[in-house]
Amino acid sequence: MSLLTFLAHQWHSFWRARNANKSLVLQIILGIFYLLIFLEIAGIGILLPYLLEERMPGKDPVLLFSSYIIYYFLTGLLFRFQLQELPSLSIQPYLTQNIKRSSMLRFLNVRSVVHVINILPLFVFIPFSVVVILPAYGTVATVCFLVSMFALVVNNHFLNMYIKRRSISSSWWFFAIIIIIAILKGFDYFKIISFEKTSANLFIGLLHHPWLCIIPLALATVIFLINNNYLRSHLYIEELVSERKLTISKKYSFLDKYGDVGEMIALDLKLIFRNKRPKSLIILSGVILLYGFIFYPKYLQTGNYTVLFLFALFITGLFISNYGQFLFAWQSSHFDGMMSYNINMKQYIKAKFSLFVTVCSLQFLIASFYGFMGWRILPIQLAAFLYSIGVNSFVTIYAATYNYKYLNLSKSASMNFQGIGALQWLQSLLISFGPVGVFYLLNKFVGFWAAIICISALGITGLALNEVIINWLVGQFNIRKHKILEGFRER
């Protein structure tokens, strides 16, 4: 069986996936989105020398560029740990067929290389080299430079694959690399040993002596061979996937006193912490909390409260839109069960709402420490918080009743558009820019406090009416219940 047949199967599996987005409009939008990303990155490659010139005038852009290459590849490795997955399971159906091991290996290797993270850097390196290096150092040097860069990308790629295959968890490696980068940066910062200079010397040297590109090539070949040999001797499904740890039953006893609603919140919490995709969303919601450090000071200074309010909405309410857009879809693999257990639908919806309120309150409390940056942050965040739980939570639950797409929980969330339809895009625009628009107008034409009070009042009204709204949502849910169930059964 040739490599091409394998790749053709992969191509089919991508496009024929049951829940691949069949909507043409969305595919076009996504297509444009990807194209823009690629163009932007290529643009960075072309504009990089000018940007460098502008920031640090009078310095050779090639020198500057070269001095960061080591750091680039180290941080690249970090991203790889998070973004890249082992493509092992795709060979499962072939293991029992009459196919030579070597061709399966070749497939695994080639398949793994096809990844955004390997392709994107080329969009920086190639334009940069053509614009800057080619005129200064000539064709041979440029080609050799590009070959080296590519070899280093491949080297990083297989190093990551190898580490992931060898170790149960790559998180130790992740932190080890962070520490290495910190140490190198530290040496640089305190001018003990300059790794930036080392990096520059290495790669400028490479440009002067193009034949040196055999070193990165050799490195890439060695790591490829190590990886290949390891795979050859471990071509068994149970050895290809990382090992499973022993799990312990957990009980959130503090939720006991809330009866069935508490029980369902506990279920949602377990869902979040035991599955890859929701877990990464939670981590994201945590990271967003740090955004305040980056954005608050700037806009506090300029007194741009509308932008502050937008960030406050993200910081206090991102969990709602992130988790809420798949509110029911998270449970799509066992939704048949959820609908036939002895669960009252009103309590079910109420549990979802309570989860939103709980997590958002937590985010709000933590974010209140930003009050130290300036007191105005507190009323802004309070208004954003009240609006999030009093209005956005219900809007999100309503929108979720229109989501009929099955969701696979074990795939990671980054660049994963499974289950996302046009409605989700619309919803995320609506729940963030709706209130921001109101805030902007009131703040501009009436005053800061009018905006705060109005937004808060909207939120409080929603909270006060929660019984009524939840009853209505149950009705809405029941109208589309069978459609949701049918959609979730299509995997």
- In the complex, the residues that contact another protein under the rule CB under 8 A are 244, 246-251, 260, 263, 267, 270-271, 274-275, 331, 333-337, 339-345, 409, 482, 485-486, 489
Please report how close the Cβ of residue 345 comes to another protein at its closest, in angstroms.
Answer: 7
Residues 387 and 452: their CA atoms lie apart, in Å, by 10
Cα 196 from chain centroid (whole Å): 29
Nearest to another protein of 281, 409 (CB atom): 409
User: In the complex, what is the shortest distance from the CB of residue 260 to another protein, in angstroms, rounded to a whole number?
Assistant: 6
The distance of Cα 360 from the centroid of its chain, to the nearest Å, equals: 20
How far apart (Å, rounded) are the C-alpha atoms in residues 316 and 359?
9
Cβ neighbourhood burial of 14 (10 Å; 0-12, 13-18, 19+): exposed
- CA dihedral sign of residues 325, 120, 222, 201: negative
What is Dmax (Cα atoms) for the chain?
76
Nearer to another protein among residue 229 and residue 478 (C-beta): 478
For the CB of residue 107, give the shortest distance to another protein in the complex, in Å: 27
Name which of 166 and 482 has its Cβ closer to another protein. Answer: 482
CB of 448 to another protein, least distance (A): 46
Report, in Å, the least distance between residue 483 CB and another protein: 8
Residues 244, 232: Cα–Cα separation, whole Å: 22
What's the min distance (Å) between Cβ of 251 and another protein? 8
Cβ closest to another protein, residue 111 vs residue 480? 480
Q: Which is nearer to another protein, 64 or 327 (CB)?
A: 327
User: 171-188 in b/e burial notation, b at 16+ Cβ within 10 A?
Assistant: eebbeebeeebeebeeeb
Q: Where are the alpha helices (DSSP H) in 213-304?
A: 214-233, 237-240, 259-274, 276-289, 291-302
User: Using CB atoms within 10 A of its CB, is residue 458 exposed (0-12), middle (13-18) or buried (19+)?
Assistant: middle
CB of 85 to another protein, least distance (A): 18
Tokens of 164: 């992931």
Say what angle helices 139-166 and 116-128 make with each other, to 10 degrees: 160
**Of the two residues 337 and 447, which places its CB atom closer to another protein in the complex?**
337
DSSP state of 275: S
Cα distance between residue 142 and residue 119, in whole Å: 19
Q: Considering beta carbons, is residue 16 or 251 the nearer one to another protein?
A: 251
Q: Least distance in Å: CB of 272 to another protein?
A: 10
- Contact between 377 and 300 (Cβ < 8 Å): yes
Nearer to another protein, 115 or 346 (CB): 346
